[in-house]
Chain A
Amino acid sequence: MSEQLLQILVVEDDELDRMIMKRALLGSGMKHDLHFAEDHESGKEAAAGKEYDCIFLDYNLPGGTGLELLKEIRAAKNTSPIILVTSQGDEKIAVEAMKNGANDYIPKSLLSADGIAQSVRFMVALKAQEKQRLLLEQQLKETERRLKTVVANAPIILFAIDEKEQFTLFEGKGLESMGINKEAVTGKTIKDIQGIPIHVEDYQRAMQGEEVTSVVEMDNKFFELFYTPIHSDDNGVTGVIGVASDITGHKLAEEELKTAMTLAEETAKLKEQFLANMSHEIRTPMNGIIGLTRILLNSQLNEEQLRFLQSIKVCSDNLLVIINDILDLSKIEAGKMSFESVPFRIQDLARHAVELFQAKADEKSIRLVTKMDPALPEALCGDPTRLSQILNNLMSNAIKFTSEGEVSLGIQLRSRREGQVTVDFEIKDSGIGIPEGSLNSIFESFTQAGTDTTRKFGGTGLGLTIVKRLIELQGGNIGVRSKVGSGTTFYFHLSFDIATSKQLETPVVQEKDSSTTSHLRILVAEDNPINQLIVKKLFADWETPIEFADNGKIAIEKLQKSSFDLVLMDIQMPEMDGYTAVQKIRTELPEGLRKIPIMAMTAHATQNERQKCFEAGMDEYISKPFEPLELKKKILELTKSNTLPLEGRQEEFSGEKQTSDMRTIKGSVSSTEQDDHKNSLQKPDLVIENPSTRVEPVIPEHQINLSYLKQIAEGSESFIIEMIEMFLNKTPVALEKMQESFQQQNWEELKQIAHRIKPSFGYIGLPETQKMLAEIEKLSDEHTNPERVKELVGEIQEVGKSVFVQLKTALTGMK
């Protein structure tokens, strides 16, 4: 501050005194700018509008006293420090001057250099202080003004309550919304006032020193309140200060949010439910259409009918693909798509993918080329089903949009490290190509290149979206190159773990359906007559005896009455559904029956449904409409332990032989009259009742089954009777002859007899016996293993006896 050039005004009429002042100031060593005024009028002028660091006023001035001038300066709002210079220590004047705003006074006798310097320094400090004070005051005022504005306008209520429960403060815009008059409240106690959200209990807790938060509902509005205790210096609580804010808006938003969330969750559930239902609702009739079409295709048709039927088949197959696409996409959208990790042969998978389209390609005269990198590991670990889906989709597109030239599938090893490979796939066609402008959007749902593409080539436009998502979900990437008129190439890469060949299960190449299910007895719980028809036809083709149960309850009853190797269980059935039935079978039936393999057979195709089936205790799951071979494969897998070597089964049989003859055998004709025709085709052909040995397994292979004959008969009972009589006429003789031929070691004759009677056993539903006869035929042709032939011939005789009894009983029932 000493560096500062001080502005000093001296109002003095006496020249000598001015000189003294000047010298004193010079002697003080302070840098300064000295201004002089010689009378009242010029002094007033000099002070007008200018702040000085110090003003010296002589008391005696021409034109008025220094006191008067002082008053005038102060009246002009000049705050410069003013020192009154008095002549002769007139205390009275000095006091009067101080009262009127002078900051100090100094007698002329003390106007020395030191005295003036001291006074000026004091004044400068005073001025600085004053300036600071003014600044603070101004800030304080500003803050207060702001606070007041805030409090007055904030949608809150600010309140303070003293220890006597009296309001000392009640401010804020919130008052308006509550309809409270500020003046009416201030000074009142909490208990005096009604209709405010401030509760005496909360106040009392705050008075105990606690900070209290509470939410109060009042007149359909919500208020949030904070109470803070006001502590005195000695730490006692002298009162409470609090804020109340109206949170009705928040509360409503929160409620809305909750509702919206619940709604969203419900919608998601509904969507899932809807998809499940829709998939069920569509699949059920589709099952009927596809299944019956398949059956019709095998019947006599003229060419036109055949053509129409083939169109129906193509249409319904396409529809099924679309349904599956939609289901897949919604699964992906819902984040519910999961991927398997199982070992598979990439070569086989590629080969299957190409084979599938060979016929189509041949039809269009397109070459199909597969280029496999020999460096690829034989076995990979991943999701072969999804990979096939991807390849099939891209191959099908390639062929669809190509009319000449070739479609190629290339599979290349990109990199290999630490038990992992990255594989590049490329599907290239010489088709119509995709315009550059459409390349980016072809992976979007419902988009195909060009609007007329759909019209021309069909398709949902979902395929590529699904492909892309399936690839990306497995960590890969798909891209496309294309040129209009010269073809399109889709390329993608995926990473797989390398599997050892050992990890691969039984050879992936399935033998072409030489397997048979004819040794199995299957119970089919299914209420839909069309589905029954399809299943019946299917199993008839496989020569497999089945029985139907119209609901879960009947299924359980039948399981207890006779023995089955497997149950196919529909889910939606009247009276008792599939889930309940399975649970009951697994928990309530006798030990021996509980473990029977059960396969769910349902038109619900969601993952969820599948999970539910397994949780209910099913062993397998197949969704309708199903591929017959898939069903067969699953049945065989489930009943693997049933395909005991022949000897094992026979021992089982001979051990049971005695009881089996005592069984009561009942023909199907004994089922009630009113539903005779329809049910004679579907209802049990033979029900073996044996209460004493109910739990023991009945041997199905030697139990006659007339379903085949009935199917042929189509209602003609006399045909069945005729056939049975024929069997009873010729077979006993043949069996006797067989025994003879064996004793005479006449292998040729033995072979011929076995060959001749073999089909007859098929007609009465004894495929197991047919197998035995086939073995005799083979062995006697080779002249090997006479021991085994002996065994078999002996067995056949026993079977014959049991079968004759059964047939005769059935015959009596019919006549």
Chain B
Amino acid sequence: MKVLVCEDDEMVLKMVEFKLQKEGYEVHLAKDGKEALEKISGLRPDIIITDIMMPYLTGLEIVHQVRKQLGLITPIIIVSSIGLEKTVLEAFQLGADDFITKPFSPNELSVRVKKLLMKSA
């Protein structure tokens, strides 16, 4: 199972990577929106986890691109900061599958990942 994590903060990235690797996933990282999009089309990950605020392309734009341009149904989890409810709603409208609020518990993230993967399988 390939997981793509798009996040510009390297500590968050490291944290998620560490946790998901331990769960047995193949974790790929993207530090900005551009890299993210490239890896999505190249790697075809089974699930995408993306932050909203990132250089070049925001998480919302990634969702839009994945669904409209690439036409993929890959599950997407949006990682958002507290108090951005509006953005979360927007993300759902664009086609995101789940969201998780920062700061999040890595355990929670891993449960959500697993749930989405089971659903899409």
Chain A residues near B (Cβ < 8 Å): 298-303, 540-541, 543, 712-714, 716, 719, 722-723, 726-727, 730, 752, 755-760, 762-763, 770, 774
B9 contact from A719, A759, A774, Cβ within 8 A: A759
Q: Which residue in chain A gives the minimum CB-CB distance to B9?
A: A756
Asked if B27 CB lies within 8 Å of chain A CBs, one says: no
Q: How far is the CA of A719 from the CA of B11 in the complex (A)?
A: 11
Q: How far is the CA of A541 from the CA of B101 in the complex (A)?
A: 13
B89 to chain A, nearest CB (A): 18
Q: Which residue in chain A gives the minimum CB-CB distance to B19?
A: A712
Flag if B105 contacts A541 (CB, 8 Å).
yes
Q: How far is the CA of A408 from the CA of B81 in the complex (A)?
A: 42
Q: How far is the CA of A326 from the CA of B118 in the complex (A)?
A: 43
Using A298-B111, A300-B111 as known contacts, say yes or no to A763 and B15 having CB atoms under 8 A apart: yes
B18 contact from A719, A727, A760, A774, Cβ within 8 A: A719
Q: How far is the CA of A755 from the CA of B12 in the complex (A)?
A: 13
Asked if B14 CB lies within 8 Å of chain A CBs, one says: yes
Flag if A759 contacts B102 (CB, 8 Å).
yes
Asked if B10 CB lies within 8 Å of chain A CBs, one says: yes
Residues from chain B with Cβ under 8 Å of A298 in the complex = 107-108, 111
Flag if B11 contacts A727 (CB, 8 Å).
yes
Q: How far is the CA of A249 from the CA of B52 in the complex (A)?
A: 93
A759 contact from B12, B18, B19, B22, Cβ within 8 A: B12
Flag if A299 contacts B103 (CB, 8 Å).
no
Using A299-B107, A759-B9, A760-B9 as known contacts, say yes or no to A752 and B53 having CB atoms under 8 A apart: yes
Asked if B106 CB lies within 8 Å of chain A CBs, one says: yes
Asked if B8 CB lies within 8 Å of chain A CBs, one says: yes
25 A-B pairs whose Cβ atoms sit less than 8 Å apart in the complex: A298-B108, A298-B111, A300-B110, A300-B111, A543-B103, A712-B18, A714-B22, A723-B15, A726-B14, A730-B10, A755-B53, A755-B81, A756-B8, A756-B9, A756-B53, A757-B9, A758-B81, A759-B9, A759-B11, A759-B102, A760-B11, A760-B12, A762-B103, A763-B15, A774-B82
Q: How far is the CA of A722 from the CA of B14 in the complex (A)?
A: 9
A766 to chain B, nearest CB (A): 11
Closest 5 interchain pairs by CB? A762-B103, A300-B114, A760-B11, A300-B111, A726-B11
Q: How far is the CA of A755 from the CA of B105 in the complex (A)?
A: 18
Q: How far is the CA of A757 from the CA of B53 in the complex (A)?
A: 12
Flag if A712 contacts B14 (CB, 8 Å).
no
Q: Which residue in chain B gives the minimum CB-CB distance to A729?
A: B10
Q: Which residue in chain A gives the minimum CB-CB distance to B102?
A: A759
Q: Mark B27-65, 1 if CB is under 8 A from A, else 0.
A: 000000000000000000000000001000000000000
Q: Which residue in chain B gives the minimum CB-CB distance to A718?
A: B18
Residues from chain A with Cβ under 8 Å of B15 in the complex = 712, 723, 763
Residues from chain A with Cβ under 8 Å of B8 in the complex = 756
Which of B66-99 touch A at CB < 8 Å? 81-82
Q: How far is the CA of A803 from the CA of B51 in the complex (A)?
A: 26
Tell me whether chain A's interface is mostly helix, strand or loop, or mixed.
helix
Residues from chain B with Cβ under 8 Å of A543 in the complex = 103
A513 to chain B, nearest CB (A): 13
Q: Which residue in chain B gives the minimum CB-CB distance to A297?
A: B111
Chain B residues near A (Cβ < 8 Å): 8-12, 14-15, 18-19, 22-23, 53, 81-82, 102-103, 105-108, 110-111, 114, 118
Residues from chain A with Cβ under 8 Å of B53 in the complex = 752, 755-756
Q: How far is the CA of A543 from the CA of B104 in the complex (A)?
A: 10
Residues from chain A with Cβ under 8 Å of B18 in the complex = 712-713, 716, 719
Q: How far is the CA of A217 from the CA of B40 in the complex (A)?
A: 105
Residues from chain A with Cβ under 8 Å of B111 in the complex = 298-301
Using A299-B107, A300-B114, A543-B103 as known contacts, say yes or no to A763 and B19 having CB atoms under 8 A apart: no
Q: How far is the CA of A759 from the CA of B107 in the complex (A)?
A: 16
A214 to chain B, nearest CB (A): 83
Flag if A726 contacts B103 (CB, 8 Å).
no
Residues from chain A with Cβ under 8 Å of B22 in the complex = 714
Flag if B19 contacts A723 (CB, 8 Å).
no
Residues from chain A with Cβ under 8 Å of B110 in the complex = 300
Q: Which residue in chain B gives the minimum CB-CB distance to A543?
A: B103
Q: How far is the CA of A714 from the CA of B82 in the complex (A)?
A: 27
Residues from chain B with Cβ under 8 Å of A713 in the complex = 18
Residues from chain B with Cβ under 8 Å of A756 in the complex = 8-9, 53
Q: How far is the CA of A28 from the CA of B71 in the complex (A)?
A: 156
Q: Which residue in chain A gives the minimum CB-CB distance to B106?
A: A712
Q: Which residue in chain B gives the minimum CB-CB distance to A716?
A: B18
Residues from chain B with Cβ under 8 Å of A302 in the complex = 118
Residues from chain B with Cβ under 8 Å of A723 in the complex = 11, 14-15
Flag if B11 contacts A763 (CB, 8 Å).
yes
Q: How far is the CA of A730 from the CA of B53 in the complex (A)?
A: 18
Residues from chain A with Cβ under 8 Å of B108 in the complex = 298
Q: Knowing that A303-B118, A759-B103, A763-B15 touch, tell me 16 more A-B residue pairs with CB under 8 angstroms.
A: A298-B107, A298-B111, A300-B111, A301-B111, A541-B105, A543-B103, A712-B19, A713-B18, A722-B14, A723-B14, A727-B11, A730-B11, A758-B81, A759-B9, A759-B12, A760-B11
Q: How far is the CA of A752 from the CA of B8 in the complex (A)?
A: 11
Q: How far is the CA of A760 from the CA of B103 in the complex (A)?
A: 9
A365 to chain B, nearest CB (A): 26
Q: How far is the CA of A525 from the CA of B14 in the complex (A)?
A: 34
Q: How far is the CA of A722 from the CA of B12 in the complex (A)?
A: 12
Residues from chain B with Cβ under 8 Å of A719 in the complex = 18
B94 to chain A, nearest CB (A): 21
B80 to chain A, nearest CB (A): 11
Q: How far is the CA of A195 from the CA of B87 in the complex (A)?
A: 107
B27 to chain A, nearest CB (A): 14
Residues from chain A with Cβ under 8 Å of B9 in the complex = 756-757, 759-760
Residues from chain B with Cβ under 8 Å of A716 in the complex = 18
B12 to chain A, nearest CB (A): 5
Q: How far is the CA of A632 from the CA of B107 in the complex (A)?
A: 21
Q: How far is the CA of A716 from the CA of B15 in the complex (A)?
A: 12
A540 to chain B, nearest CB (A): 8
Q: Which residue in chain B gives the minimum CB-CB distance to A731?
A: B11
Q: How far is the CA of A303 from the CA of B117 in the complex (A)?
A: 13
Q: How far is the CA of A762 from the CA of B104 in the complex (A)?
A: 10
Q: How far is the CA of A722 from the CA of B11 in the complex (A)?
A: 9
A538 to chain B, nearest CB (A): 12
A726 to chain B, nearest CB (A): 5
Residues from chain A with Cβ under 8 Å of B82 in the complex = 774
Residues from chain A with Cβ under 8 Å of B23 in the complex = 300
Q: Which residue in chain B gives the minimum CB-CB distance to A514?
A: B82
Q: Which residue in chain B gives the minimum CB-CB distance to A709?
A: B15
Q: How far is the CA of A251 from the CA of B23 in the complex (A)?
A: 80
A516 to chain B, nearest CB (A): 11
Q: How far is the CA of A770 from the CA of B81 in the complex (A)?
A: 12
Most B-side CB within 10 Å, residue of A727, A757, A763: A763
Residues from chain A with Cβ under 8 Å of B107 in the complex = 298-299
Q: How far is the CA of A755 from the CA of B54 in the complex (A)?
A: 11
Q: How far is the CA of A762 from the CA of B12 in the complex (A)?
A: 10
Residues from chain B with Cβ under 8 Å of A726 in the complex = 10-11, 14
Q: How far is the CA of A80 from the CA of B14 in the complex (A)?
A: 140
Q: How far is the CA of A540 from the CA of B104 in the complex (A)?
A: 11
Residues from chain B with Cβ under 8 Å of A762 in the complex = 103
Q: Which residue in chain B gives the minimum CB-CB distance to A306?
A: B115
Q: How far is the CA of A368 from the CA of B67 in the complex (A)?
A: 41
Residues from chain B with Cβ under 8 Å of A540 in the complex = 105
Q: How far is the CA of A303 from the CA of B121 in the complex (A)?
A: 13
Most B-side CB within 10 Å, residue of A714, A752, A759, A762: A759
Most A-side CB within 10 Å, residue of B53, B107, B110, B114: B107
A7 to chain B, nearest CB (A): 127
Residues from chain A with Cβ under 8 Å of B10 in the complex = 726, 730
